[in-house]
Structure 1
Amino acid sequence: MAFLVTQIKWFYHEFGIKSLYHTGWDAWLIILTRCTRMFAYGTNSLILALFFSALDFSDFHIGLFMTLTLLGDVLLSVLLTLVADRLGRRKILFAGSFLMVLSGIAFALFENFWILLFAAVVGVISATGGDFGPFRAIEESTLSHLTTPRTRADVLAWYITTASIGSALGVELTGRVVHYLQHREGWTIVDAYHMVFWIYSAMGVVNMVLTILLSKKCEIAQEKMESEEGEVLLDEMDEQDERDSEETAIPSPTDTSESSISEKKSRFAQISQATRLVMYKLWFLLIVDSLADGMVGYSLTTYYMDQKFDLPKSTLGDITSISYVLSSCSSIFAGPLSRRLGLINTMVFTHLPSSAAVLLFPVPSSIFMTVALFFIRTGLNNMDQAPRSAFIAAVVKPEERTAVMGITSMLRTLAATAGPSVTGILAGNDRFWIAFVAAGALRIAYDLGLWAMFINMTLHQHEEKGGGKEMADVARRENDEEELMDIQRHPNEG
C-alpha cells in the first residue's frame, strides 16, 4: 500500500497535476472548455471534406472553401484578440462560442456552397480540425497569466492533452453516428452529416456555459488593479500642484504631438521592440510550419486515405480517433520532457519524427503502413505545442502575451490558408501525394531552424524580477510541499 501511495505521489508531481491543482479552478474550466471545443472540431474534421464531396463540390471548391474559412479565422482572431484584454477575455470567449453555435446551425440546415462559406467565414468552423480561431490565443494567454514559470509548461501540457482527448472522442462519435444513420431507412449520407453539425452547435452551447463560470482572475486588469488604486491618491494630490503652472504654460506643438503619439502607442503598439526582435524570427518559422500543416490538414488527410483505399466512414473514424488518443498520451510527457530537456529541445526532437512521417506518408501502398505513418505523425505532432506556448510566454512581457499570441495565431492561420487551395489543385490532377512531400520538407526545415535560432536563448527575463504577490505565494507553497515530501521520503536524514 505504501508503494502504491508513493507511485501516486510521484505521478502527481511528475506529470504536472500538482501544478494544475495550484493554478486554481479557472485553469480546470479553461482546459475543459478547450476539450469540449476540440470535441466539436473533431466531429467536423472527419466529415467536412467528405460532406462537400457528397454535395458534388469539386476538389478545387473544397480547397477554396478551406482557404477562405481560414482567412475568416484570421480576421476574427485579429479583431477579438486585440480587444480581448480591454473588453474582457471572458466576454470574447463567450462571443466566440456563440458564433460556433450559429455556424453549426447553418451547416445543419443548408447545402448551398456560398451560404456555408459565409457561415464559416464570419462564424467559427474548423476547416482543418485544428484550433485556428480566436480562442486558443486568449486561453493560452490567460493560463500564462494564472501560472508561474515553474508551473506553466505542465498546465499548458494538460491543456494540449485534454484537447487531443476531446478530438479523439469527437472523431470516434462522428464515425459511429454517420455509419449508423446512413444505414437507417430514409437517411442519406448527407442527412447523417447534417446531424453531426447539430452536435457541433450543442458543444458551442456547452462552451458558452463554461465561459460564464470563469472568475475575474482571468482578466488582465485584475493584475494591475491593486497597484493602480494605490497610485490614484498620489496622482490626485499632484494634480492640484501642477494645475497652476499648467494654466500659465503654453503647450508647444511638439508636446501635443508627443502626447498624441504616446496615447496611440499605448493602444496599438502593445509589443516592445525587444520582443519583436525575438518574435520576428519565431513568426517566420511558424509561418513555414503552418503552411505545411494547411496543405495536409487532418480533414484533407482523411479525404486522401478515403480516396486511396475507399475505407468505410466508421473505419476512418476509428483510425483518426486512435491517432488522437496517441496524441493525448504523448502530450502528457511534454511537461516532464520540458523540465529535463528544455523547451526548444522538446519542441524540436518530438516534432521532427512527426515531420518525417508526413514526408513519407504517400509512399506505402498498403493501408497498414499508411496508418502506421499517420499514427507517428499525429501521435507526436502535439508534443511541441505546450513547450511552444510556454516559450512565447517566457520571452515576452506579461502584458504583451495576449497581443503576441493573438498575432502568432493570426500569422499561423494566414499561412495555413494557402495550403488547402494548393492541395485542392494537386488532388484534382492526381498529384495529391506531392502535397505531403512538400509539407514534410517544410516541417523539417522549421524544426532545424527552430533549434539553430533559439537553442541558447535566455528565458524568463521579464519574470525573474517580480511576478506579483500571488505568484510568490504559489511558489512558496510549492517549495514547502516539496520540502515536506523530502522529509517524508528520508525521515532519518538531517
Structure 2
Amino acid sequence: MPQPVLSRVADFLGITSLNSIGRDAYIIIALRSLRMFTAGIPSLILALFFASLKFPDSRIGVFMTLTLLGDVMLSLLLTLVADKLGRRRILFMGSVMMAGSGVIFAMSESFWILLIAAVFGIISVTGGDCGPFRAVEESILSGLTDEKTRSDVLSWYITATTMAGAIGAEFAGRTVQALEKSSGNTTSAFHALFWAYAAFGVLGSILCLGLSTRCEAAGEKRAEMVERGRGGGNGEEEEVLLEAITPSTTDGFEESGERIARQQQPPPPPRKQSYFSQISKPTRSIMFKLWMLLGIDSLADGMTPYSLMNYYVDQKFHLSKATLGDITSASQFLCAVSAVFAGPLSKYIGLINTMVFTHLPSSIASAFIPLPSSVGWTVALMLFRAALNSMDQAPRTAFIAAVVKPDERTGVMGITSMVRTLAMSAGPSITGLLSGNGTFWVAFLATGICRITYDLGLWVLFVNVKVDKDVGRQADADSVDDEAWNGLLSDTESEESDEGNRSWDFERGQRGV
C-alpha cells in the first residue's frame, strides 16, 4: 500500500522524527522559543532604558562589555558541570534567574545592581541566546535522538526558536510604543516590559518541571545500554546478561565469595581532574580544528550583524526605520523557514556537505552586499544571505553530537558557545577600524573572506570524517566495566525487584537481580 502523501511530507520535513521523540523534545523547543521571544525585550530597550536613566554612553558601553564577558564565564562554568548537577536543574535555575533579573530591572535603577542582575540573569544584550542553556538543550536533544532523527529535530529546534525571536523583537517594539503613548513616561514603559520579562521566566521554570529523567546524562546512558542489549529488559534477558559476564567455574562457591569480598571493598577515591581534561584527546583533536573555524565564522558574523547592516543601508539609501525593520523581520523569517530543510537535505548529502553547500553561497553574498548601487539589489542580496545563513546550524550540532562521546556533549557544546561568543564580540570593534572615512564596504569584504575561509576549511578538514550511529557512542558504552554495570542495574531496578530475585544462586556463582 503506497504511503499517504501527508505522511511522506511529514517524513521529508522531519515532523515524524520530532513526534517520535515525544514530550521532552516539544518542551525543550518551547522553552528556548520562550527564551528567544523574551530576548528581544532587553536587546531592543536596554540602551534606551539606560539613556532614560541619564547614564552616560561610556557606562552603557561598559555595561554591555561586562555583561557579555560575565555571561561567557558563567556559561562555561554551568555547561561543564551540567551533567553532574543535572541538566533539568540547570535549565530550571536558568529560568528562575531570568525571572529574578526581570524583577530587579523592573524595580531598581542602580547601575551596579543592574549589572549584577544582568550577569547572573543571563540578560541578552544582542538579542541572541548567549547563555549556557542552548548548549544544555542541544545536548539533551542529541541524547534523545539517533543518527536518523537528530538533524530533523535540531532543524525544528532552530526553526521554531528563530521564528520566536523575530516575533519577540516585533512585539517588544510595538509594546514600547503603545506604553509610551498611554503612560507618557518612557522609563515606566521600560519597567513594565521587564515585569513581563520576569513573568516569562516564571513560565519557563514551570515548563522545566515537565521534563523527564530521559533528559539527564544518566538516563541517556541507560537508554543507550538498553539499545545495545545491556539492560532494561525482562528478567530473562538480564539473567542471560549476567551469565555472560560471569566467569564459569566448576563449583561457583569460592568464586562467589571472592566476588562478594570485592564488591564490599570501598572503591578507590576518584582522582580529581580539571573540567577540560575530562574531554578525551580524540574529541579535542577534532574540536580544536572546529573551534578554530567556528571562531573565524563568528568573528565574521560579529563584523556585520543585522544592526550594522541596517546602519550601512540607512547611511547609503536613507530608508525609513519602518522599512529597515521590515527588512530585518523578513531576514529572520527566511532564516527560520530555510532551517526546516537543513535536516532533510543532510540525510541525502551528509552533514558537512549541507553545512558547506548552503553556507558558501551566503558567504559570497555577504562580500557583494556593498556592490549594487540600487536599494532593490542590495536588499535582495541581504535576503539571499539570510535565507541560507542558518542552514548550517542544525547539521553542525548534529555533527558535534556524533563525533564526541555522550558524556562530553554538554561540555563541548558549552565551550563551542563560548568560543563563538568571544569571537563575535570582537567583530564590531574590527568593523569600526575598517570602516573609517567611508570605507564601510571593507568590513563586508572581510566578512565574506572570513566566512569563505570557514566553509572551505570545513570541507578540507571534515568532509572525510565518517559519522554513524556508533561514533561517539561505542567507546562510551564499552568503557563501562562489568562491576559498574552491575551496580547500575542494582540501583535502577531495586524498586521493581522482589525478594526472590535478590537471592544468591551459589551453584552458578552470581547474584540474581
TM-score range, shorter chain: 0.7 to 0.9
> Which position in structure 1 is the counterpart of 2:389?
381
Alpha-carbon shift at residue 180 of structure 1 (Å): 3.2
1:290-309 alpha-carbon deviations (Å, 9 max, x no partner): 22223333444455556666
Q: Which residue of 347, 369, 372 maps to 2:380? A: 372
| Higher Cα radius of gyration | 2
Distance 1:19 1:321, change over 3 A: same
Distance 1:44 1:155, change over 3 A: same
1:404 and 2:412 are equivalent in the alignment: yes
Distance 1:333 1:206, change over 3 A: same
Distance 1:458 1:217, change over 3 A: same
Distance 1:218 1:336, change over 3 A: same
Task: Tell me which amino acid in the other structure corresponds to 1:221.
Answer: A
Alpha-carbon shift at residue 373 of structure 1 (Å): 3.2
Contact kept in structure 2, 1:153 and 1:386, CA below 8 Å? yes
1:147 and 2:156 are equivalent in the alignment: no
Task: Tell me which amino acid in the other structure corresponds to 1:277.
Answer: S
Contact kept in structure 2, 1:73 and 1:413, CA below 8 Å? no
Q: Which residue of 444, 448, 452 maps to 2:460? A: 452
Task: Tell me which amino acid in the other structure corresponds to 1:81.
Answer: T
Secondary structure in 2 aligned to 1:269? helix
Task: Tell me which amino acid in the other structure corresponds to 1:439.
Answer: T
1:451-483 alpha-carbon deviations (Å, 9 max, x no partner): 111111111343675999xxxxxxxxxxxxxxx
Contact kept in structure 1, 2:335 and 2:386, CA below 8 Å? yes
> Which position in structure 2 is the counterpart of 1:99?
97
Contact kept in structure 2, 1:49 and 1:299, CA below 8 Å? no
Contact kept in structure 1, 2:298 and 2:421, CA below 8 Å? yes
Question: What CA distance in whole angstroms lies between the structure 1 residues aligned with 2:328 and 2:71?
Answer: 24
Task: Tell me which amino acid in the other structure corresponds to 2:261.
Answer: D
> Which position in structure 2 is the counterpart of 1:329?
337
Contact kept in structure 1, 2:162 and 2:335, CA below 8 Å? yes
Distance 1:400 1:11, change over 3 A: same
Distance 1:175 1:427, change over 3 A: farther
> Which position in structure 2 is the counterpart of 1:473?
none
Task: Tell me which amino acid in the other structure corresponds to 1:80.
Answer: L
> Which position in structure 1 is the counterpart of 2:235?
none
TM-score normalised by structure 2 residue count:
0.77
Structure having the larger proportion of residues in helix: 1
Question: What CA distance in whole angstroms lies between the structure 2 residues aligned with 1:267 and 1:296?
Answer: 34
Query: RMSD over aligned Cα, in angstroms?
Result: 3.7
Gaps of 5+ in 1: 248-255, 469-494
1:210 and 2:207 are equivalent in the alignment: yes
Aligned positions of 1:52-63 closer than 5 A: none
Question: What CA distance in whole angstroms lies between the structure 2 residues aligned with 1:164 and 1:434?
Answer: 29
Secondary structure in 2 aligned to 1:129? coil
Alpha-carbon shift at residue 84 of structure 1 (Å): 0.8
> Which position in structure 1 is the counterpart of 2:134?
136
Range that drifts further, 439-448 or 76-85: 439-448
Question: What CA distance in whole angstroms lies between the structure 1 residues aligned with 2:195 and 2:160?
Answer: 22
Alpha-carbon shift at residue 448 of structure 1 (Å): 1.4
Task: Tell me which amino acid in the other structure corresponds to 1:241.
Answer: A
Contact kept in structure 2, 1:296 and 1:419, CA below 8 Å? yes
1:223 and 2:220 are equivalent in the alignment: yes
Range that drifts further, 330-339 or 320-329: 320-329
Q: Comparing both chains, which one has the higher relative contact order based on Cα–Cα distances under 8 Å and sequence gaps of 6 or more?
A: 1
Range that drifts further, 336-345 or 197-206: 197-206
1:264 and 2:272 are equivalent in the alignment: yes
Task: Tell me which amino acid in the other structure corresponds to 2:205.
Answer: M
Range that drifts further, 289-298 or 136-145: 289-298
1:294 and 2:302 are equivalent in the alignment: yes
Task: Tell me which amino acid in the other structure corresponds to 2:358.
Answer: T
Range that drifts further, 202-211 or 381-390: 202-211
Identity of matched residues, %: 55
Contact kept in structure 1, 2:179 and 2:189, CA below 8 Å? yes
Distance 1:405 1:93, change over 3 A: same
> Which position in structure 1 is the counterpart of 2:76?
78
1:283 and 2:291 are equivalent in the alignment: yes
The count of corresponding residues between Structure 1 and Structure 2 is 453
Gaps of 5+ in 2: 233-237, 247-254, 478-513
Question: What CA distance in whole angstroms lies between the structure 2 residues aligned with 1:191 and 1:70?
Answer: 26
Task: Tell me which amino acid in the other structure corresponds to 2:296.
Answer: V
Question: What CA distance in whole angstroms lies between the structure 1 residues aligned with 2:411 and 2:368?
Answer: 37
Distance 1:124 1:303, change over 3 A: farther
Question: What CA distance in whole angstroms lies between the structure 1 residues aligned with 2:346 and 2:283?
Answer: 22
Alpha-carbon shift at residue 443 of structure 1 (Å): 1.7
Alpha-carbon shift at residue 40 of structure 1 (Å): 1.3
Q: Which residue of 241, 244, 249 maps to 2:261? A: 241
TM-score normalised by structure 1 residue count:
0.79
Alpha-carbon shift at residue 96 of structure 1 (Å): 1.2
Question: What CA distance in whole angstroms lies between the structure 2 residues aligned with 1:200 and 1:311?
Answer: 31
